[in-house]
Amino acid sequence: MAHPAFCGLSHRHLGELIEEVAPRWQARCESGRHVRRRGARQRQAGAGPKYELVLVDRLLVTLVHLRTGPTHDALAVIYEVGSSTIGRAIAEVRPLLADRGFAVPDRPGLRLRTLEDVFAYAAAEGVCLRIDGTETQVRRPQAHRPGRRVFVSGKRKQNTMKTTTISDHRGRLLWSGALRPGRMHDQTAMRTEGVAEQLRQHPTVKAEVDEGYRGLVNEFPYQVGAPPWKPKDIDDAPLTDRYGWREMRRRQSSRRICVEHANAEMRQWRPLQRYAGRREDYGEIHQAIAGLVSDRAARRATCHKPSTELVLVRTAVC
């Protein structure tokens, strides 16, 4: 199960994740035991029933379930335990992964957890943000329930949950959140999250968006860039105007396509392709997967390094 084809992480990444999660998991277990026994420990450490799955196995079970989406019964057969044990292991480890935040390129140990952290980082490092919304199909709510139509996406004509992704110019994931029902517009989801206030507080931060955020472009024309408006009577316009408009759209799309790559990287994980579980748990699952994707993206090199060293063919004569 530790193979990258099953868990989605390299062996080095998996080892670092175990070192990071182990103290928090141990502290959470001790806190739960203290609440259950209503006092301090009465027996020596190690006494009592033993875990059927150690922390490494619990973490692997959670990663495999998030990456490939097997059922609890299938994982129970592999580990020779009950399906309820698998469910408890996932319920214990998944919140720890969701609370990790997002890794920062070239800043080991630093994590971004809120939208305020992202804009503060962009202002300090001079990063131009790329913002885009993405949707994941979810189960349809039961009939005759209030708010049943709120999940129907006007673009996909399906029941979806909408999230917003922010990346840098190299497609490295910096933040993913603003979980909203699919019927809400992309721009409304970000405004309710407070993106307008962050743009006012950080006037040096710039961002690239698509047509769905035209209102932000009108309000912050010097900070937010979007595709240019289509000229009127484009078919009757001069040839230079038509080619100029298409070239401007192509360049803006080329600057913004990296955030699409970040969304595609998250969709390699099975729950974000089509989520069939409880909608109440989708936010936690999305945060857990996005944090793992940001870890892998932050490891990318910031500049190209040649594979061989340049050697002079002959000595130059001065």
**pLDDT (tens digit, 9 = 90+) per residue, 1-55?**
889 889 889 999 999 999 999 999 888 877 777 677 777 777 676 666 666 788 8
Residue 87: HSE in the Cβ half-sphere, 13 Å Cα cutoff: 6
pLDDT tens digits, 73-125: 999 999 999 899 999 999 999 999 999 999 998 888 889 999 999 999 999 99
188-216 average pLDDT score? 90
Q: Which of 128-137, 179-188, 238-247, 277-286 has the lowest mean pLDDT?
A: 238-247
Query: Could you tell me if 286 and 97 are in contact, meaning their C-beta atoms sit under 8 angstroms apart?
Result: no
Residue 144, classed as helix, strand or coil, is coil
Of 193, 213, 192, 194, whose CA–CA distance to 202 is shortest? 194
Beta-carbon contacts of 37 under 8 Å, excluding residues fewer than 6 positions away, are none
pLDDT for 316: 45
Please say if the pLDDT value at position 153 is more than 90: no
Query: Residue 315 — pLDDT band, cuts 50, 70, 90?
Result: very low
Q: What is the pTM of this model?
A: 0.86
pLDDT at 308: 42
Least confident of 98-107, 193-202, 243-252, 259-268: 243-252
Share of the chain above pLDDT 70, in %: 92
- The rounded Cα 213 to chain-centroid distance in angstroms is 20
Contact status, residue 269 vs residue 77, Cβ threshold 8 Å: no
Average pLDDT of 156-177? 91
Residue 309 has pLDDT above 50, yes or no: no
CB distance 118 to 175 below 8 Å: yes
- Which of 24-28, 224-228, 308-312 comes out lowest in average pLDDT? 308-312
What whole-number distance in Å separates Cα of residue 166 and Cα of residue 189?
A: 13
3-state helix, strand, coil in the chain (%, to 5): 50, 15, 35
Radius of gyration in angstroms for the set of CA atoms belonging to the chain, rounded to a whole number? 24
Instruction: Supply the mean pLDDT for the chain.
Output: 85
Query: Six-digit token pair at 7?
Result: 């868990």
Across the range 282-306, mean pLDDT stands at 82
- Span 212-218, average pLDDT: 88
Of residues 108 and 183, the one with the higher pLDDT is 183
Question: So what's the pLDDT on residue 107?
Answer: 83
**Would you say residue 306 has pLDDT above 50?**
no
In the prediction, which pLDDT does 156 show? 84
Sign, CA torsion 267/273/276/280: positive
Bridge partners for 178 per DSSP: none
